[in-house]
Structure 1
């Protein structure tokens, strides 16, 4: 069995300026609810790769399902939250305004170091990954 992971397309969201740490959660909510940017087309290599797939699974997020359709997938075998990417942690403190990229990198590093406020812990993510892997075995 060959398993291929393809990341979703670009969500239809406005560019972020600088923000405080306590503003990040609003962006995360918008990101999770966003549809795809309709101006984009998937890479030809991704389209060709998905043509070789016997089974396609997606997370339950709109951008994941829309990405599969954009790639030409006609039937999604399973749509489940278990296949979602790891949520970005955040905190509700006032802070200096920094670029979104700085916050994303900082909070992802903190997550790897064990900080998981408002997101799944590493141990929970590992358990979820094991369950997802079990679902892929058929």
Structure 2
């Protein structure tokens, strides 16, 4: 058995300027609801790779399902939240305005260090990954 992971395409979201830490949750909510940027095309290598797949699974997020369709997948075997990427934690404090990239990197580093406010903890993510692996193996 061969398992292939392909990340979703670029979501259709406006460019972010600088924002405070307490504004990040609004962006995360928009990101999770976003459809794909219709101007993009998937890489040819990804299209060729998916042609070889017997079974395709996706997270329950719109961008994941639309990515599978954009790759030419006709039937998705399983759509489940278990396959979602790890969400960024965030906090509700006022802060200086920084670029979104700075916040994303900072909060991802904090997550690896154990901070999981408004997101799954590392132990929960590990449990979820084990369940997902079991689903893929069966």
TM-score when normalising by structure 1: 0.99
- The number of residue pairs the alignment matches comes to 138
Task: Please state how far the C-alpha of 1:84 moved relative to its aligned partner.
Answer: 0.1
C-alpha separation between the residues in 2 aligned to 1:54 and 1:98?
44
Runs of 4+ in 1 over 3 A off after TM superposition: none
Task: Please state how far the C-alpha of 1:119 moved relative to its aligned partner.
Answer: 0.0
Deviations 1:64-104 (A, max 9, x none): 00000000000000000000000000000000000000000
Instruction: Note the aligned Cα RMSD (angstroms).
Output: 0.3
Question: Where does the alignment leave 5 or more consecutive residues of structure 2 unmatched?
Answer: none
C-alpha separation between the residues in 2 aligned to 1:70 and 1:115?
35
TM-score when normalising by structure 2: 0.99
Deviations 1:47-79 (A, max 9, x none): 000001111000000000000000000000000
Task: Please state how far the C-alpha of 1:137 moved relative to its aligned partner.
Answer: 1.4
SS in 1 for 2:132: helix
